Amino acid sequence: MYIVDDVLHFPTVDNADEYGLLAAGGDLSAKRLRLAYKNGIFPWFEEDQPILWYSPDPRMVLFFGNFKISKSMKQLLRKKPFVITINTCFEEVITNCALLKRKDQNGTWITNNMIAAYTQLHELGDALSVEVWQGKELVGGLYGVDLKKEKVFCGESMFSKVSNASKMAFIYLVNYFEKKGYKCIDCQMHTDHLASLGAIEIPRNQFIEILKL
């Protein structure tokens, strides 16, 4: 495994192991995070681990033409039960994502250092949040990295305090970036939920080519 030092550099992604683990070490500076995402790499580690960098193969991606909205969600959309905003409280969104308890996970990979790093990335214009409100209460949302030049949004995490709030955030996100002419949403790794929305797995080298187009 490649050990990242102070030099701003990553090995090519084909050096990753079978689980997608590519490198360890380095920092979460905005420059390093930008370099990572532009090359199909992202950090994923727990509190007691060094910074670990991944580039899985295959890669889970949502192409806009494949996006599926269930009949029940279409009915809910017409009722407009939520107010949805963008980039109004990024740090609150990522903090809620960190606090969310997930099945088969003892803790969270969204450590305090991660919250600080991605909040800084947001302040620099390279990370984005979607917020879902019920009255004045934040009840759902998501965040990720916005690769404006590459026209790819890299989704990181979402949360929901009431039923369907995170789904509403995702629908808003897809519509937002499709209108902006983006190529796809990077979902990183397979989940049944993402697959139900139309996301598919593609070879990692195909995803890298999308980033370079």
Question: From first to last of its 213 residues, what are the pLDDT tens digits of the chain?
Answer: 899 999 999 999 999 999 999 999 999 999 999 999 999 999 999 888 999 999 999 999 999 999 999 999 999 999 999 999 999 999 999 999 999 765 554 446 899 999 999 999 999 999 999 999 999 999 999 999 999 999 999 999 999 999 999 999 999 999 999 999 999 999 999 999 899 999 999 999 999 999 998
pTM: 0.94
Q: Where are the domains of the chain?
A: 2-54, 59-212
Residues 141, 92: Cα–Cα separation, whole Å: 9
Report H helices in 56-150. Answer: 71-79, 90-99, 112-123
Beta strands in the chain (DSSP E): 2-4, 21-25, 42-43, 52-54, 59-62, 83-86, 127-134, 137-147, 152-160, 184-188, 200-202
Report H helices in 6-70. Answer: 30-38
Same fold? 2-54, 59-212: no
> 2-54: which CATH architecture?
2-Layer Sandwich (3.30)
Task: State the burial class of residue 36 (Cβ atoms within 10 Å of its Cβ: 0-12, 13-18, 19+).
Answer: buried
Q: What are the respective helix, strand and coil percentages of the chain, to the nearest 5?
A: 35, 25, 40
What's the pLDDT score for residue 109?
81
Residues 164 and 134 sit within 8 Å (Cβ to Cβ): no
What's the pLDDT score for residue 47?
85
Residues 61 and 202 sit within 8 Å (Cβ to Cβ): yes
What's the pLDDT score for residue 131?
98
What's the pLDDT score for residue 102?
55
Check: CATH 3.40.630.70 for 59-212? yes
